[in-house]
Structure 1
Amino acid sequence: MKGQTCGLCGKADGEVRQEYRTPNGRVTKSAVSYAHSWVLPAESCRDTTECRMKLESVQLEKQVNIHGQESKCYSVEPVLRCLPGCFPVKTTFVTVGFHCVPADTTLNRSEAHVACRCTAQCA
């Protein structure tokens, strides 16, 4: 099965530079970002499992000025976030790339949530 596997355990082909390949085929730079990419998110905050999270693109919180133009930046890889009705109880920093566009561009919406607690009406 050498080189015929994929997933959290890699390809098992002896090559180590691309071991952190995400489900969508991209290679991450950190083990944390890699592991987060393989988490299966919950469908709703009423999910009976402990994983009350989803993967979503996030906006960079700091102001960015590119070529003299105010810009907003969004992660090119999704990060773990708590589902609506839940809030983070533990977080960690992950390394992700960002794509920036002029601030007046209309787009849908960097910190990843590692564990969540939900409100009484949701849990």
Structure 2
Amino acid sequence: MKTLLNLIWLVLCGFWMALGYAVAGLICCALIITIPFGIASFRMASYALWPFGRTLVDKPGAGAGAALGNIIWLVFAGWWLALGHLVTGFLLCVTIIGIPLGVANFKLIPVSLLPLGKEIVEA
């Protein structure tokens, strides 16, 4: 079932979301000082590409640097991304077929808010 949901997700919105996160990652990596944000963007792109059957956990050993980076990310980009996922999730939940896709959008909110110090694992 998760493979079917992932394929539907990939076709309808996952590819475009992952592409957006990947472009943001490339821009962040090009600016050198924002490389940690670029790596987090690539991680979010992989999660946005194939979210079903995977979950987000705290990375052991993430410390003060991740916390400070998350605060900077939250102020400049995180809340915009989370708002986009929230609105898209609600709109997808309007239809019965879109409910699982809306739930997947809601799963992306925590990683879009605070991406540093997180790890994506198989559920």
Task: State the TM bucket, normalised to the shorter chain.
Answer: under 0.3
TM-score (norm 2): 0.25
The one of the two structures with greater contact order (alpha-carbon pairs below 8 A, sep at least 6) is: 2
Greater C-alpha Rg: 1
TM (norm. structure 1) is 0.25
Higher strand share: 1
The structure that is helix-richer by fraction is: 2
